[in-house]
Amino acid sequence: MKLTEAMQACTRTVEQALSDLALEPAGPDARVWQAMRYSLLAGGKRLRPFLVMQSADLFAVPPEQALRAAAAVEMVHTYSLIHDDLPCMDDDDLRRGMPTCHRQFDEATAVLAGDGLQALAFEVLMGPETDSDPAIRCQLALDLARSAGAPGMVGGQMIDLLAENTCYDLDTITRLQAMKTGALIVWSMAAGGILGRATPAEQAGLTGFGQAIGIAFQIADDLLDMEGDAQSLGKAVRKDADAGKETFVGILGVEKARAKADELVDEAISSLDLFGKKADLLHDVARYIVARQN
């Protein structure tokens, strides 16, 4: 229950911050803000903000500063979901049990809502409230740009779009998911260290944790996609298999995929040995990632 309570408390705090940072203005431009808020406040696990807050807590970073980094990565994550759901990408009608942004509004508004959230994320990160040192703010923004852009999430999505017509091996699938899913998870862990002025060894531990759970998270997603249903997951299932795309489960099989996810959890936990008991909640979240049901 300790992890559940901590995640629920973080979700409440983050969602209030997101609402405050994305206030809807008066005027004809209000529609794009309505679409931004619709997707931004539609629920979800808020895993990436939780990782930011927990990694920052290892260094006693003031919560109000960490919260801005947490909000920024959730804005980028939400923008990516809006764009992923578009007809030109994954063409999904359901996200978090609700109509996707382009179904609730329209395609053009959804594109603009995603663009708006991405820009807002960097505006929030670069505000002096995030950290008094401009160099720290620049490092956060630089690393997030790389994680979200072509070297990370966007590049991973490109590889994924080509997957329907390409037979990928395990190494390529691992690289794809490390970019598409893992890059923002790694940034979420690294952000706390940047704000906390972590030593190189501490930052390496945070990065190692993020890399391991990023892949474990995707394996768990593949298992849920194979065994779950749209109602409980709040989104369409088995779309990758129907499209002929290779996944971790498709290549490894269910049992070996589960074993690989468990191995990655052990690897992630070991990465945080230098933090001792202070990292207990992060240990728990690593285990939660592979045990979750949605």
Residue type, 47: L
**Residue (of 119, 107, 24) closest to 78 by Cα position:** 119
pLDDT, position 241: 63
Task: Name the residue ranges covered by the structural domains of the chain.
Answer: 2-291
pTM of the shown model: 0.93
pLDDT in tens, 234-247: 655 566 666 667 88
Query: 2-291, superfamily in CATH?
Result: Farnesyl Diphosphate Synthase (1.10.600.10)
pLDDT in tens, 154-190: 999 999 999 888 889 999 999 999 999 999 999 999 9
Evaluated on CA atoms 75, 80, 81, 86, the torsion sign reads: positive
Neighbour-count burial for 108-141, b at 16+ CB within 10 Å, e otherwise: ebbbbbbebbbebbbebbbeeebbeeeebbebbb
Q: Tell me phi and psi for residue 152, to 5 degrees.
A: -130, -115
pLDDT in tens, 212-265: 999 999 999 888 887 755 556 565 556 666 666 788 988 999 999 999 999 999
